[in-house]
Amino acid sequence: MCADVRGRSGRMLAVLAGAMLLSAAVPAAAADPAPGGAPLRVVASFSVLGDMVQQIGGDHIALTTIVGPNGDVHDFEPSPKDSKALAHAQLLVVNGLGFETWMPRLVQASGFKGLEVVATRGITPRRLSAGEQALERAEERHARHGHERQRAPTDIDPHAWQSLSNGLIYVQNITAGLIKADPAHAADYQSHANMYIAQIKALDAKLKQALAAIPEARRKVVTSHDAFGYFGLAYGVQFIAATGISNEAEPSAKEMARLIDQIKKQHVPAVFLENVTNPKLIQQIARETGAKMGGELYSDALAAPDQPAGTYLGMFEWNAGKLIYALDPKQH
């Protein structure tokens, strides 16, 4: 076992051990209602869900987001602070679809006794193509020869929030969870959700119209990892990913050569960085193909709260704006 694996395993064991002591000390507190009308204690697994929960919950909740802005869920390691927050939470909101691979261990270790909401419940998962599954297998081979892997290869894409129509389902599931955990404020939660749903529907229609106006042959881009499949299906954009679902391994020289050849043959106009991935791979692809650097997209995490992509809807507007500018021939 390499030193990196021993270090990661040791840190995780320390977190779990600390969490077990914590949960033993407060076995029932997590399930008890907040006293005296205190805010509902909610934990969201990552920043996209955190923003959605806050939009609906408003002042009635006290929110903790485990993986914050610009954080990578795929290689995240929980800390004792995360265990403490979860031990006291009344509601936990997760994405599901195998996205938060570390969450089941954290839930068990923390002694969480509250209500868990899976935001993707009711969503039809996107199945990976044969080529995408090949990237997953390549990452698994890399992991076996390099570092510890937290997630086995899968044929399901967990990035369902990258479609605003799926976002509506997220909102419905989160709202139902908040109402179940805190029925006293059900009317407010539903009112906030209704306003949020109207905003999501309006932006969805706007983006579909804007992207449909771009010639289909130009609606092709390269991204760092396979995070935009749902966006592509919803808005008619072909995303070519340099790595698989989890961005845990770079492509081999042979895979890289095949990717560059594909980009050249298909005349892909632009390549994009992501806020949670190393830019070097995409910069290399841009140099070797001549494709234009289109800027940065937000995939698995929001930007900082004071940035344009610091909210779920802000992220969509940012990403779509970057894509439209890079792909629309009328912009140049």
103-147 pLDDT, tens digit each = 999 999 999 999 999 999 999 999 886 555 555 555 444 444 444
Q: Is the pLDDT of residue 56 over 80?
A: yes
Q: Is the pLDDT of residue 186 over 60?
A: yes
Residue 274 CA to its chain's centroid (Å):
12
Fold agreement between 3-125+158-198 and 211-331: yes
CATH topology classification for 211-331 = Rossmann fold (3.40.50)
Quick one: pLDDT at residue 286?
87
Span 3-125+158-198: which CATH code? 3.40.50.1980
Task: State pLDDT tens for residues 271-306.
Answer: 898 887 777 888 888 898 888 888 999 999 999 999
Q: Is the pLDDT of residue 314 over 70?
A: yes
Average pLDDT of the chain?
Answer: 84
Task: State pLDDT tens for residues 86-95.
Answer: 999 999 999 9
Backbone dihedral region of 41: left (phi > 0), alpha (psi from -120 to 50 degrees) or beta? beta
Going by pLDDT thresholds of 50, 70 and 90, the confidence category of residue 153 is: low
Quick one: pLDDT at residue 249?
61
Task: State pLDDT tens for residues 198-222.
Answer: 999 999 999 999 999 999 999 999 9
Task: State pLDDT tens for residues 2-55.
Answer: 444 334 434 443 443 343 333 333 333 334 455 557 999 999 999 999 999 999
Domain boundaries, the chain: 3-125+158-198, 211-331
User: Among 91-100, 190-199, 260-269, which stretch is predicted with the lowest mean pLDDT?
Assistant: 260-269
- 253: tokens are 């020289």
Comparing 161 with 132, which gets the higher pLDDT?
161
Quick one: pLDDT at residue 329?
80
Contacts by residues 49-53 (CB-CB < 8 Å, ≥ 24 positions apart): 49/93, 49/94, 49/95, 49/119, 49/161, 49/170, 49/174, 51/302, 51/310, 51/311, 51/312, 52/119, 52/167, 52/170, 52/171, 52/174, 52/196, 52/312, 53/93, 53/174, 53/178
Q: Is the pLDDT of residue 173 over 90?
A: yes
What mean pLDDT comes out for the span 251-279? 85
Distance CA 294, CA 26 (A): 50
